[in-house]
Structure 1
Amino acid sequence: MICWGEEKRQADPGFFCRKIVEGVSQPIWLVSDTRRMSDIQWFQEAYGALTQTVRVVASEQSRQQRGWVFTRGVDDAESECGLDSFGDFDWVIENHGDEQCLEDQLENLLEFIHAKLQR
C-alpha cells in the first residue's frame, strides 16, 4: 500500500489531495493528515489565502508517556517528518498533557473557524 501511494505521489504530487475534494463542495475542510510539503502546497495553490495550516506538537517525553516508542524506518520516514522543516504554520497546537492549555488553544482555533463561517 505504501509503495502504491508513493508511486501515485511521484507521478502526481496532488493526486490524493484532489481525491479528497473531488466533486464535493464544503464551506470548510479540515484535512487532518497532510504529511508532505506537496500536500500543503497543493491546498495553498488551490485555495490560496483561505488555507490555514495547523500543526499539533507534543514533546517526546509526553509522547512516550502515551506509549510511543521510536521505530527507525517508520518514525524518521518522510511520511512522519516531511513537514518538520515547514516553519510557517498558521496555528501550532501544543499537546504536552496540560488539558486546560490544550482546550484554550483549540477554543481559539474554533473561534477563528466560526468567524470565517459567519462571513
Structure 2
Amino acid sequence: MAPRGGAPCLVLLVSGKRKSGKDFVAEALRSRLGADVCAVLRLSGPLKEQYAKEHDLDFQRLLDASAYKEAFRRDMIRWGEEKRQADPGFFCRKVVEGVFQPVWLVSDTRRVSDIQWFREAYGALTQTVRVVASEQSRQQRGWVFTTGVDDAESECGLDNFGAFDWVIENHGDEQRLEEQLEKLVVFVRSRL
C-alpha cells in the first residue's frame, strides 16, 4: 500500500551504473519541469539516514560524493541489503512520505524489488528510465571499478532487467543528451 502524501501523476524510476549521470539527468529534468511539479527522491537518503543513526555517523557527510561516504559504502550496502531482505519496501515507503509534487523522479533505483514495489503501489503511473554511459565516460567522471561495490546487487541488480521504458544515453554528447531529455519532458508534460 502506498504511503500517505500526494498522489503522483507520474513516477519515473531512474537507474544506471555509478557515474553514469543518474543524478545529473534527474536534476536536468527537474530544472526543466520545475521544483513545484517535480520532486527528486533518493532511496539512498533514508538508507543513509538510518545507517548514520545506527552507526553514530555524520548523515550529511554520507550524502555527498566524499571519501567519508566511500569509507562506509561497502558496509552500507551490506546493511541495506539486510534491511531489504527483511522488508523489501522499507526504503521505498520512507522516500515517498509527504511528497506532494505530481511528478516523482526516484534518481537511484537499483533493484528489481524497488521497481516491483513502485509498480505495485502506483501501477501504470510508473515508468523506468535507464541512464547509460560508456566505461570511458564514467572513468572521465571519476569512476574506478571497486570490488564489492561495482559487482554487488546495488550496481548490477538491474543489468538483466529487460526493457526499460526510456533509455538515456549519457556518453558526453550534449546535443544528443538534450534531444533525449526533451522527448522525456514532452512525455512527462503530456501526463500532467
The two structures have a TM-score, normalised by structure 1, of 0.91
* Cα displacement (A) at 1:11: 0.8
Partner of 1:47: 122
Partner of 2:105: 30
Residue 10 (structure 1) aligned with residue 82 (structure 2)? no
Residue 78 (structure 1) aligned with residue 132 (structure 2)? no
* Cα displacement (A) at 1:69: 1.4
Equivalences, count: 117
| Greater relative contact order (Cα < 8 A, sep 6+) | 2
Take 1:67 and 1:25, find their aligned partners in 2: how far apart are those partners? 35
Higher strand proportion, which one? Answer: 2
Match of 1:104 among 179, 185, 188: 179
Partner of 1:57: 132
* Cα displacement (A) at 1:47: 0.8
* Cα displacement (A) at 1:7: 2.2
CA displacement, residues 48-72 of structure 1 (integer Å, 9 cap, x when unaligned): 1110110000011221222321111
The two structures have a TM-score, normalised by structure 2, of 0.58
CA displacement, residues 80-114 of structure 1 (integer Å, 9 cap, x when unaligned): 11111111210000001100000100111111111
Please tell me the residue identity of whatever aligns with 1:12.
D
Partner of 1:89: 164
Residue 68 (structure 1) aligned with residue 143 (structure 2)? yes
Take 1:66 and 1:30, find their aligned partners in 2: how far apart are those partners? 22
Please tell me the residue identity of whatever aligns with 1:40.
I
Gaps in structure 2 of 5+ consecutive residues: 1-50, 52-75
